[in-house]
Structure 1
Amino acid sequence: MAVYPVASVGELPEGTYRIIQVEDRSIGLYNVKGEYYAIHNYCPHQGAELCKGPVCGTTLESQVYEYIYGREQEIVRCPWHGWEFDLKTGKSLFSEKVRVRSYPVVVENGTIGVVIGR
């Protein structure tokens, strides 16, 4: 496994993201409430650039006729068909079988690095 330095912490303020290229992979790098996460920029549904979709929250489990909104800044929604994925894990919100690849992120000496396995 190799760590690829991709940005400094000052370049990615809380609530922002950027799309980076690492080893011919397009990856979305996100700052979610001060924590950094990286996911593959490819929706498994039909190949859209997933990381160009909005970062948002979602409705949480609730009673009938009750709508509770939560997980603000933790969900990315595909710009083509609205499939939603957890930025922290890459898991979809609608099926345990569908996910997008996530990558470990490390911060050392003010530099954000993405870990890519060979």
Structure 2
Amino acid sequence: MLHKVGHLSDIPEDDALTIDIEGRPIGVFKAAGKVFAVKNICPHKRAPLARGTVQGTMLPTSCAGQYQYGMENQVLKCPWHGWEFDLETGKCLFGVSNSRIKTYEVSIRDDEIYVDV
């Protein structure tokens, strides 16, 4: 079911809007011109993910032991212990855990944000 959660201007770039839909805590993020919605609870220690940062991360290269920065504005970093999640898929990065965060489909109509719960 689609829920209107606000206007695009309600969310500053690289910041989050926290909302509650049907008892579900949700963080809505705007980064790199896209809007993402995730469950606002880290699976590790239940930290409020909306207080985390959206950034990139270090990625392994084809050379053993070498890394390069990538995924700019696609990674949500937990504010408590630094766990990193792919905002598109919710997947925890780099094998720290098989955990993932719940993601919700977002649609934009006339600059209004809708989250499908």
- TM-score w.r.t. structure 1 length? 0.86
AA matched with 1:67: Y
Do the aligned partners of 2:37 and 2:106 also contact (CA within 8 Å) in 1? yes
- Does the C-alpha gap of structure 1 residues 13 and 53 become closer, same or farther in structure 2, counting only changes over 3 Å? closer
Q: Which residue of 1 aligns with 2:45?
A: 46
Q: Is the 8 A contact 2:56 2:70 kept in 1?
A: yes
Give the CA deviation at 1:11.
1.9
2:10 aligned with 1:11? yes
The one-letter code of the counterpart of 2:46 is: G
Tell me the CA shift for residue 23 of structure 1.
1.3
Query: Separation in 1 of the partners of 2:24 and 2:77?
Result: 20
| Structure 2: gaps spanning 5 or more residues | none
The number of equivalent residue pairs is: 115
CA distance in 1, matches of 2:46, 2:79: 11
Unmatched runs of 5 consecutive residues or more in structure 1: none
Show the counterpart of 1:57: 56
Q: CA deviation at 1:102?
A: 0.3
Alpha-carbon distance between aligned partners in 2 of 1:113 and 1:82, rounded to the nearest angstrom = 28
Q: 2 CA distance for matches of 1:19 and 1:72? A: 22
Q: Given residue 89 of structure 2, which amino acid in structure 1 is its aligned partner?
A: T
Tell me the percent identity: 39
Q: Deviations over 1:11-48 (max 9, x none)?
A: 22433321111112111101121111100011111211
Asked if the contact 2:19–2:25 (Cα under 8 Å) also holds between the matched residues in 1, the reply is yes
Distance apart, 1:73 and its partner CA = 1.6
Aligned to 2:99: 98
Counterpart of 2:85? 85
- Whether the aligned pair in 1 keeps the contact of 2:31 and 2:54 (CA below 8 Å) is no
Say whether 1:25 aligns with 2:52: no
